[in-house]
Amino acid sequence: MTTAADIMHPGAQWIPAHETLDRAAQLMRTLNVGALPISDENERLCGILTDRDIVVGCVAMGHDPAKTTAGEMAKGTPRWIDAGADVGEVLEEMQSHQIRRLPVIDNKRLVGMISEADLAKHLSEDQIATWVESVYAKG
């Protein structure tokens, strides 16, 4: 059985909710990623911050990324998957919530992220086609 841990990109890092968006952008650049899970003071997932969130939700709105925190950008209920979950559960979670990045949690700790690139490396063409159709479908 292929699990979330088998297909994830290991070594994901949190951005604490109190950190500013300019710091988040710097961390994204350093890590060469487009999204960071946001953690609360107990290192529990409280959201996901994307590069698009910073640009559209902060900069384009005339806000200062040096004064806006990651926690202020966290919206909705964050989605995640257990490291031991079957790849079918991963696909279901991402498809049903139309999300492109999924944090992987093991024993209440962040251990990795699953992105489109990770799926492309590990799934069949048919699985990818079904995933793309459902995640990118306009609802």
What HEC string does the chain produce? Answer: CCEHHHHCEECCCCEECCCEHHHHHHHHHHHCCCEEEEECCCCCEEEEEEHHHHHHHCHHHCCCCCCCEHHHHCCCCCCCEECCCEHHHHHHHHHHCCCCCEEEEECCEEEEEECHHHHHHHCCHHHHHHHHHHHHCCC
How does pLDDT run across 60-72, given as a tens digit for each residue?
999 999 999 999 9
Task: Give the domains, in start order, of the chain with CATH numbers.
Answer: 4-137 (3.10.580.10)
Mean pLDDT of the chain: 91
Q: At 11, is the pLDDT very low, low, confident or very high (cuts 50, 70, 90)?
A: confident
Q: At 139, is the pLDDT very low, low, confident or very high (cuts 50, 70, 90)?
A: low
Q: At 128, is the pLDDT very low, low, confident or very high (cuts 50, 70, 90)?
A: confident
pTM confidence score: 0.85
What is the pLDDT, as a whole number, of residue 138?
60
